[in-house]
C-alpha cells in the first residue's frame, strides 16, 4: 500500500488487513448472525418483560459495558498521526541501526502528542509539558523514542516519579484542579525538591502552551547511546525541530481556548493533515564521544540538564512528515503502547537513573491498561519486522502457533526460531563496578545553574511571560510557606526573577542574591530565534456584514490561502452577506460559534455599511480588541480602520502620551493600500505574534 507520495508503506499495508468497513454490509452479532431488529428487545408480549433468552440484547449491552479501558496514568490526553521518516545523512560511523544508516530507506512512524497531567477528556491548551512519542516501524523491529517538548525533566531518579505525579495530579480529596499545575501540592513538591527548578523554568515559559503540535520541538531528554559495528559507543541526545518554528499561545488566550475549543491542538493536527498541510520535523542528534563524558560541568546522566547547542551543535540527519490521520481513535491513538525499551541494534541505554526507572514502567503499565501481555499484537503496535518467539497464550492471543515446540532449545521445530546471528541485538558491554548503595551522585548536585542559563537566554517578553506564569501559579497556592519556599529557590536562579515573582504574590522579596548570576546564555533556548517565515496552516478571520467590500475580502483571502493559510469569513449569522457593489459573499462561520482566540489574525475589510454594523456588534468589537491584546496580526482596509478605532487600536493617544504600538497592525486606505496590504499582512501573520506590542490600554 502506497502513502500519499506514492511510497510503499509496509505499515499501512499491514493495517489494511485489519480495517473493517461497514459499506454494503448487513448488521450481525459478533458470531456473524444477521439480525432482523436491533431497536427492540425480545419481550413477552408488547408491554411485557424482556426475556433472558435475548442473546442479541445481552451481547450488545455487555460489549458496551466493557468499552472503557483505564486511561494512561500520565499523558492520558493525546492525539496521534502516522507518517514517515527519511534519513538524509548516514550515521554509520556511530550506529548500526539500519534506519539511521541507510539513506535509501523510508521508515513508517506513528506519533502520539499528549499533555501530561490532565485526564483523557481534559482541554488541550493547559499549561503543561507535551509528550512527543514516536514509534518507528523499522525493518529491525520497533524503535520508540518517547520524548517530551522540553529537554529536561522534573526529577533525576525514577523512584521519585510516583511522588511527583501524585503532587501534580488533581488533589486527592476533591480531584481539583483538573489538568492544572497551579495548586499547592505541586508547588509544595517543587519547594522541597530543588532538582525541579530547571524544569519549572521551562514549564513556566511559553513552551508549556504550544500554538500547534506542528510548532513544537521534541527531545529524547535522556542521554542515550549509539553503538557502531565495532562495538564503540557514542553518547547521543535526540532532537525534533519543527519546520514551522516553535511558537506559543498567550496565556490568557490558552485559558479561553480551553473553554471555546478544548480540542484546539487535536483539531489543528487533524485539520492540517486532512488539508495536506503535513507537519514536518527535522531529526537531529547531539553526539558526544565516550572519552568526553566528563568534559561538561554537569553529568550527562542527569536528566535535569541539557547540553547547550552552542557547545555541541545539533546535527540534522533526517526528516519526519506526518501525513495520515488514524481511522479510529481508540484502536490506534488510545491503544498505541510506547516503551523506552523498544530499541533496535545500534541504539542502547545509559545509566541515567530516570531512564532506568522508565525501562521498567512502560511495559508494566500496558499490562493493566491493555489487559495482558499480548498488546504488541494490537495492529498499531505490531512491528513490520516478523515476530517469532516462544511467548504463548495469555489474554487476547491473536496468533495461532501450530508448532509442537514452544521452547528453546528444541529439535522438534528444527531448532527454530533460531537465536542470534547477524542483525541481532546485543547489549553494549559497559564495565560496571560499585557497591550497592542508595545515594545520588555528587555530580547531580547543581540544581540552579542551568535554570539560570535558561532565564538568561530569554528575550524580554519571554521573561515577562515567565514571571507572569510564576505569579499566576503561586498566586493560586493557599499556603504562604509554599510560595515563600519557591521564591527562595528562584533567588538561587536569578535575584531579579525572585523579586519580580515575590512582588506579585505577597511574599517579601529577598534582599540580596544568594548566588551571583553566572551571566551565560544559550540563544538556541529562546523562541525568539525560531523560524517565523511561513503562514502555512495559520487561521485568519475576515469580519463582514452587509455592504462589505467584497474586492478586499477576495484580495486578502486569495493572497493568504495562496500562501498556505486558512481564511474564514465571519458574520453575525451563517449564510451570506451582501457585497457593497451587489452580489454576495459566502459566510464560513457565524461569529457566535467561534472566537478570536481560535484565529491567528483578523482582517476587517472596508465597506461603510458593513463596518458600521460591525461597530455596533459587541462580538465583533471584542473580536478585534482581543486579537490585538493577544498580540496577533490585525489588518484593516479603508472604512475597516473604523472598527479598529472602535476597539481602541492604532490611533489612540493617551493622556500619558503613550501611543498604542502599530507593531503587527496593518492598515491602509485607497487603491495603493489595497494592492500592497495582502503582502504586508502575510508578513505580519508569519511573524506569529507581536509580543512587544503595548496593549495595556485596550480592554478585551
Catalytic residues: 75, 148
**Nearest distance from residue 214's CB to ligand HDE, in Å?**
17
Dist. CA 106–CA 96, nearest whole Å:
16
Collapsed DSSP state (helix, strand, coil) of residue 623: helix
**Nearest distance from residue 331's CB to ligand HDE, in Å?**
14
**Nearest distance from residue 453's CB to ligand HDE, in Å?**
20
Which residues are CB-neighbours of 234 under 8 A, at least 6 positions away? 94, 95, 225, 226, 227, 228, 287, 288, 289, 290
Nearest to 234 by CA among 245, 243, 223, 244: 223
Closer by beta carbon to ligand HDE, 365 or else 517: 365
**Nearest distance from residue 207's CB to ligand HDE, in Å?**
14
- Whether 395 has a binding-site annotation, put simply, is no
DSSP H or E segment with residue 570: strand 566-571
**Residue 146 interacts with ligand HDE (CB under 6 A): yes or no:** yes
**DSSP 8-state assignment for residue 50:** B
CA separation, residue 219 to residues 109, 134, 259, 469, 655 (Å): 16, 11, 29, 23, 49
The per-residue DSSP string of 389-430 comes to: -S----TT-------S--SSS-STTTTPSP--STT-------
**Residue 147 interacts with ligand HDE (CB under 6 A): yes or no:** yes
Dist. CA 525–CA 279, nearest whole Å:
22
Phi/psi of residue 390, nearest 5 degrees: -105, 15
Among 108, 141, 158, 345, binds ligand HDE (CB under 6 A): 158
**Residue 119 interacts with ligand HDE (CB under 6 A): yes or no:** no
**Residue 367 interacts with ligand HDE (CB under 6 A): yes or no:** no
**Residue 114 interacts with ligand HDE (CB under 6 A): yes or no:** yes
Contact yes or no for 529/523 (Cβ under 8 A): yes
**Stretch 512-541: interaction string toward ligand HDE, x if CB under 6 A:** ------------------------------
Q: Are strands 315-324 and 280-289 parallel, antiparallel or unpaired?
A: antiparallel
Among 3, 11, 15, 72, binds ligand HDE (CB under 6 A): 72
**Nearest distance from residue 216's CB to ligand HDE, in Å?**
12
**Residue 358 interacts with ligand HDE (CB under 6 A): yes or no:** yes
- Whether 161 has a binding-site annotation, put simply, is yes
Among 133, 287, 453, 469, binds ligand HDE (CB under 6 A): 133
For the chain, the distance separating the N- and C-terminal CA atoms, rounded to the nearest angstrom, is 51
Contact yes or no for 490/514 (Cβ under 8 A): no
Residues 279-308 binding ligand HDE (CB under 6 A) are: 303
**Stretch 335-354: interaction string toward ligand HDE, x if CB under 6 A:** -xxx---------------x
- Whether 388 has a binding-site annotation, put simply, is no
Q: How is residue 315 written as a grid cell?
A: 546535527
Q: Are strands 224-227 and 218-219 parallel, antiparallel or unpaired?
A: unpaired
Summarize the chain as % helix, strand, coil (round to 5): 35, 15, 50
DSSP H or E segment with residue 108: strand 106-115
Among 3, 15, 56, 75, binds ligand HDE (CB under 6 A): 75
10 Å CB burial of residue 389 (0-12, 13-18, 19+) is exposed
**Nearest distance from residue 544's CB to ligand HDE, in Å?**
41
**Nearest distance from residue 203's CB to ligand HDE, in Å?**
13
**Residue 272 interacts with ligand HDE (CB under 6 A): yes or no:** no
Among 3, 78, 193, 595, binds ligand HDE (CB under 6 A): 78
**Residue 365 interacts with ligand HDE (CB under 6 A): yes or no:** yes
In this chain, which stretch among 147-155, 173-181, 408-416, 641-649 interacts with ligand HDE, using CB under 6 A? 147-155
Query: Per residue, what are the HEC states of 472-526?
Result: HHHCCCCCHHHHHHHHHHHHHHCHHHHHHHHHHCCCCCCCCCCCCCCCCCCHHHC
**Residue 470 interacts with ligand HDE (CB under 6 A): yes or no:** no
**Nearest distance from residue 136's CB to ligand HDE, in Å?**
14
- Whether 358 has a binding-site annotation, put simply, is yes
**Residue 207 interacts with ligand HDE (CB under 6 A): yes or no:** no
**Residue 134 interacts with ligand HDE (CB under 6 A): yes or no:** no
Closer by beta carbon to ligand HDE, 78 or else 210: 78
**Residue 77 interacts with ligand HDE (CB under 6 A): yes or no:** no
Binding residues for heme, by number, are: 72, 112, 161, 358, 362, 369
Task: Give me the residues that bind ligand HDE (CB under 6 A), please.
Answer: 72-75, 78, 112, 114, 131, 133, 146-148, 153, 158, 161, 221, 303, 336-338, 354, 357-358, 361-362, 365
Binding residues, by number, are: 72, 112, 161, 358, 362, 369
Amino acid at each position: 500500500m502506497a502513502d500519499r507520495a506514492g511510497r510503499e508503506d509496509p505499515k499501512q499495508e499491514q493495517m489494511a488487513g485489519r480495517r473493517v468497513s461497514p459499506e454494503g454490509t448487513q448488521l450481525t452479532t459478533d458470531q456473524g448472525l444477521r439480525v432482523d431488529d436491533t431497536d427492540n428487545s425480545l419481550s413477552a408480549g408488547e408491554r411485557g418483560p424482556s426475556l433472558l433468552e435475548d442473546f442479541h440484547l445481552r451481547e450488545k449491552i455487555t460489549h458496551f459495558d466493557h468499552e472503557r479501558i483505564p486511561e494512561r496514568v500520565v499523558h492520558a490526553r493525546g492525539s496521534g498521526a502516522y507518517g514517515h521518516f527519511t534519513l538524509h545523512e548516514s550515521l554509520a560511523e556511530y550506529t548500526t541501526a539500519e534506519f539511521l544508516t541507510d539513506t535509501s530507506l523510508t521508515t513508517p512512524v506513528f506519533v502520539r502528542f499528549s499533555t501530561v497531567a490532565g485526564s483523557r477528556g481534559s482541554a488541550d491548551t493547559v499549561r503543561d509539558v507535551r509528550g512527543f512519542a514516536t514509534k518507528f516501524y523499522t525493518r529491525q523491529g520497533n524503535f520508540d523514542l518517547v520524548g517530551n517538548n522540553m529537554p529536561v525533566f522534573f526529577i533525576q531518579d525514577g523512584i521519585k516519579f510516583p511522588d511527583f505525579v501524585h503532587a501534580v495530579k488533581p488533589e486527592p480529596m476533591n480531584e481539583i484542579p483538573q489538568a492544572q499545575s497551579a495548586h499547592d501540592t505541586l508547588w509544595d513538591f517543587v519547594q522541597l525538591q530543588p532538582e525541579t527548578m530547571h524544569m519549572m523554568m521551562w514549564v513556566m515559559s511559553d513552551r508549556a502552551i504550544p500554538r500547534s503540535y506542528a510548532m513544537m520541538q521534541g527531545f529524547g531528554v535522556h542521554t542515550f547511546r549509539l553503538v557502531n559495528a565495532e562495538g564503540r559507543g557514542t553518547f547521543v541526545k535526540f532532537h525534533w525541530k519543527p519546520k514551522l518554528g516553535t511558537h506559543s499561545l498567550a496565556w490568557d488566550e490558552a485559558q479561553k481556548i480551553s473553554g471555546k475549543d478544548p480540542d484546539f491542538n487535536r483539531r489543528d493536527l487533524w485539520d492540517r493533515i486532512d488539508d495536506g498541510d503535513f507537519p514536518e520535523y527535522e531529526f537531529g542528534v547531539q553526539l558526544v564521544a565516550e572519552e568526553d563524558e566528563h568534559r561538561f560541568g554537569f553529568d550527562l546522566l542527569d536528566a535535569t540538564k541539557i547540553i547547550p547547542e552552542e557547545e555541541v551543535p545539533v546535527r540534522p540527519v533526517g526528516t519526519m512528515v506526518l501525513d495520515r490521520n488514524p481511522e479510529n481513535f481508540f484502536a490506534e491513538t488510545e491503544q498505541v503502547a510506547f516503551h523506552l525499551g523498544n530499541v533496535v541494534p545500534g541504539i542502547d541505554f545509559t545509566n541515567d537513573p530516570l531512564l532506568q526507572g522508565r525501562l521498567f514502567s512502560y511495559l508494566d503499565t500496558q499490562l493493566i491498561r491493555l489487559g495482558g501481555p499480548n498488546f504488541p499484537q494490537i495492529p498499531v503496535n505490531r512491528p513490520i519486522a516478523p515476530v517469532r518467539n516462544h511467548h504463548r497464550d495469555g489474554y487476547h492471543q491473536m496468533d495461532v502457533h501450530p508448532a509442537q515446540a514452544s521452547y528453546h532449545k528444541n529439535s522438534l521445530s528444527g531448532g527454530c526460531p533460531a537465536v542470534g546471528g547477524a542483525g541481532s541485538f546485543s547489549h553494549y558491554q559497559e564495565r560496571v563496578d560499585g557497591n550497592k548503595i542508595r545515594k545520588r551522585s555528587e555530580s547531580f548536585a547543581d540544581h540552579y545553574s542551568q535554570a539560570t542559563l535558561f532565564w538568561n537566554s530569554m528575550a524580554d517578553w519571554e521573561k515577562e511571560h515567565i514571571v507572569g506564569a510564576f505569579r499566576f501559579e503561586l498566586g493560586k497556592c493557599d499556603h504562604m510557606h509554599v510560595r515563600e519556599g519557591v521564591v527562595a529557590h528562584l533567588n538561587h536562579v536569578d535575584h531579579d526573577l525572585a523579586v519580580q515573582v515575590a512582588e506579585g504574590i505577597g511574599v517579601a522579596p529577598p534582599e540580596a542574591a544568594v548566588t551571583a548570576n553566572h551571566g551565560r546564555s544559550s540563544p538556541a533556548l529562546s523562541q525568539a530565534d525560531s523560524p517565523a517565515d511561513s503562514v502555512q496552516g495559520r487561521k485568519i478571520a475576515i469580519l463582514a456584514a452587509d455592504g462589505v467590500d467584497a474586492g478586499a475580502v477576495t484580495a486578502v483571502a486569495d493572497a493568504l490561502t495562496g500562501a498556505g493559510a486558512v481564511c474564514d469569513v465571519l458574520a453575525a449569522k451563517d449564510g451570506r452577506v451582501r457585497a457593497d457593489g451587489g452580489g454576495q459573499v459566502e459566510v464560513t462561520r457565524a461569529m457566535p460559534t467561534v472566537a478570536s482566540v481560535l484565529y491567528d489574525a483578523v482582517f476587517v475589510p472596508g465597506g461603510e455599511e458593513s463596518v458600521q454594523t460591525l461597530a455596533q456588534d459587541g462580538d465583533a468589537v471584542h473580536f478585534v480588541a482581543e486579537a490585538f491584546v493577544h498580540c496577533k496580526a490585525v489588518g484593516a482596509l479603508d472604512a475597516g480602520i473604523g472598527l479598529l478605532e472602535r476597539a481602541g487600536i492604532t490611533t489612540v493617544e493617551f493622556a500619558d502620551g503613550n501611543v498604542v504600538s502599530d507593531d503587527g497592525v496593518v492598515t491602509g486606505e485607497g487603491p495603493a493600500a489595497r494592492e500592497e496590504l495582502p503582502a504586508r499582512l502575510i508578513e505580519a501573520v508569519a511573524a506569529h505574534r507581536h509580543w512587544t506590542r503595548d496593549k495595556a490600554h485596550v480592554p478585551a
